Chain A
Amino acid sequence: RYVLCEVVSEDPRCRQCIEDRTLGLAVRDAIARVHGDYGLACCSVSFTVKYLNAYTGTVLLRCRKDSYRLLCSALPFVRYLESRAQRYPCFLNTLHVGGTVRTCQKFLIQYNRTQLLRLLQTCTNEEERQCIQKSLLSCSLTEEQSQSGDEEEDDGTE
């Protein structure tokens, strides 16, 4: 199973230090706290961080089908990310659970589109509006090129 989640944090420096290893360790630690040795072993059999987007904070985790419920229930217990001896408070939002990477990718494209529209509605600055409109128009219409939909910017609106 593939779990798509989003890292939400108030600290802007947190975004820069998101790495797959730190995130994996944080999630494993949360599973160990919530489900103990048994849960940790159960979920860590084939647990990997498949995809990580530091700009948008999107993370795709992979785990076994039998233990994905343990993983999902432990995700709200991830309270902070630790890297280089600094702790950044954050929390994970689960967006989508899918069976393949393709379904998660399709969902991510749709989600990014709706996020862009939402950003357009909520942004107050004129030049930010122009920026967002330009990136919206430059999104390609075919679903194969999903990465162009990831052009969200973090310059102050979020």
Chain B
Amino acid sequence: RRELPDGGARPNAAQFKQLVVTALRDLHGEVGAALPVDVLTYEEKTLSAILRVISSGLVKLWSALTLLGFYQNRRCAFRVLQTSPFLLALSGNSRELVL
């Protein structure tokens, strides 16, 4: 799950995917841009999304998102909230679990 704090612009789902692919292309070239990344869900209100990628590509994706600094000439940052191999695990954060 990724959270993207931003100044003003609100990308929609397609623009978000374009942003991710551009980040990969900048850091890892055509090979990185060809990495199959899926945007499973995207909420425009909170600007958060769930991305799926093959496990060998996690390092490339994470590094590319970390180093992406600008979106439409505004500063932005990607924050990775959770990563897990199972989709079900993303629905709850076990650190905030209140017993």
Contacts and interface: CB of A to CB of B under 8 A. Distances in A.
A33 B30 CA distance: 6
Contacts of B28: 35-36, 38-39
Interface centre among A32, A36, A38, A73 (most CB of B within 10 A): A36
Q: Is the interface of B mostly helix, strand, loop or mixed?
A: helix
Interface string A19-52: 0000000000001111111110000000000000
Contacts of B25: 36
Interface size class of A (residues with CB under 8 A): 10 to 19
B31 A35 contact: yes
Contacts of A32: 29
30 contacts: A31-B29, A32-B29, A33-B29, A34-B29, A34-B30, A34-B31, A35-B28, A35-B29, A35-B30, A35-B31, A35-B32, A36-B24, A36-B25, A36-B26, A36-B27, A36-B28, A36-B29, A36-B30, A36-B31, A36-B32, A37-B26, A37-B27, A38-B27, A38-B28, A38-B29, A38-B63, A39-B28, A39-B29, A39-B31, A73-B31
Among all A-B residue pairs, the 4 with the closest Cβ atoms:
A36-B29, A35-B29, A36-B28, A34-B29
